[in-house]
Structure 1
Amino acid sequence: MGLKAFFHDLHTTRRLILISAFLFCTSIMVGWLSTGTIQSMLAQQMEGLGEVAQRLQNSEHPQWSFFVFIFFNNAIKCVLVIFMGAVFGIVPFIFLIVNGMVLGFVVHLQTDMGRSMYEVVVKGLLPHGVIELPVLIIACAFGLKFGINIMSTIGTSIGLKRKGTGPVWDVFMKQTLRVSIWSVILLLIAAAIESGITYRLLSQ
């Protein structure tokens, strides 16, 4: 479960990580430029998040409440998105697209409301996002890999692929477990930064 093994797992999945990063960045642009139905959908997402944020802000210990919510929300979603990738990679693909669009929409909305790009990105996103966003992309990449491996195994079982060319499942499941554990650890750090540093920067 060491860090060296974790980086090796990332190296072996580098192509899917790059594809996931491309999809995420493209989705950010779509969210930034969104109009009509897409904009309404994203606005509904933001309304729900706004209500949750308001309840957390009004709690007895806002920073602690934000930390607990952010950590468990992100950690559970990231682990689920890896293993639900078994459904042909559909869930991580949708997760990437939706989260990228929401991020692009939020940044655009905040700048339209008069906040500077520096305040939104550098103060509001960068401190925790430098950890959180790569973890999201990595989790989705492994979720996509899970789906690809499932399809490869099915292809082998029905004769579309030669036997012995499919995934080595014991190796992959060890990688998946290791990536899940490291994702949770990194998201714990990101949640601490977001509920601490980011919270204070945006409260100034």
Structure 2
Amino acid sequence: MNLSIGEKAKAVAVKEFTKLTIGFVVSAFFGVLVAIVFPETALKLFAEVGEAIKEKVGEVEGFKAFMGIYMNNLTVATSAYALGVFFGVVPWIIILVNGFILGLVLTVVISSGALDPITAILAVLPHGIVEVPALLTAATAGVMIYKGLLKKGGTELTYTSLKLYALSAVLLLVAAFIEAFITPIVAGL
């Protein structure tokens, strides 16, 4: 069966997105495991992550929170995309680290009693349902730009990667809006 150039690009995108999603889930599970087995280390990592987020986004609400969240996430997505030219490794690192942090943070927050499990899930789920696929899409685009430019996969892979990156930027805008304005209401935070 011969696939057209566009179909090949789509097939590569689906394959890479699937692999990255599996990596994200496995690393999130690893974050949960580390938080359970090494709770003191997990608390230290949790504090460091909290400080890093506070520095980037701050403790603001409304439009400023929305813009801070969007710019932070867009920076991560842009890094996953643009730095994909380095053998497609950086997108993987970004996805694995983010999965690990998500698993660790949720486990620490729940196990420490800071939030009950339902509230913790509600603090992540509304925007996470859009944000995580958006980051996975940007990482997919980063792997594809490497394959398109440096592995001689062709211009179609490169163009498809750019379209995927643009899609991730739009999805992150939606996720930031949800995180700034809807998640706090749904989670009661």
TM range (shorter): 0.7 to 0.9
Q: Give the whole-Å Cα distance in 2 for the aligned partners of 1:26 and 1:108.
A: 15
Label 1:9 to 1:199 Cα distance change in 2 as closer, same or farther (>3 A). Answer: farther
Paired letter, 2:110:
T
Look up the match of 2:16: 16
Q: Which runs of 5+ in 1 are unaligned?
A: 1-7, 154-166
Normalising by structure 2, report the TM-score: 0.82
Is 1:44 paired with 2:48? yes
Deviation for aligned residue 1:116: 2.3
Q: What are the equivalent positions in structure 2 for 1:1-204 lying under 5 Å apart?
A: 11-34=11-34, 35=38, 39=42, 40-41=44-45, 43-50=47-54, 52=56, 55-57=58-60, 62-114=61-113, 115-121=115-121, 123-149=122-148, 152-153=151-152, 167-168=153-154, 170-204=155-189
Q: Give the whole-Å Cα distance in 2 for the aligned partners of 1:31 and 1:110.
A: 13
Paired residues, number: 179
Deviation for aligned residue 1:195: 0.4
The answer to whether the 8 Å contact 1:129/1:190 transfers is yes
Normalising by structure 1, report the TM-score: 0.77
The answer to whether the 8 Å contact 2:131/2:175 transfers is yes
Deviation for aligned residue 1:97: 1.1
Q: Which runs of 5+ in 2 are unaligned?
A: 1-7
The answer to whether the 8 Å contact 2:144/2:157 transfers is no
Label 1:37 to 1:195 Cα distance change in 2 as closer, same or farther (>3 A). Answer: same
- Structure with the greater alpha carbon radius of gyration: 1
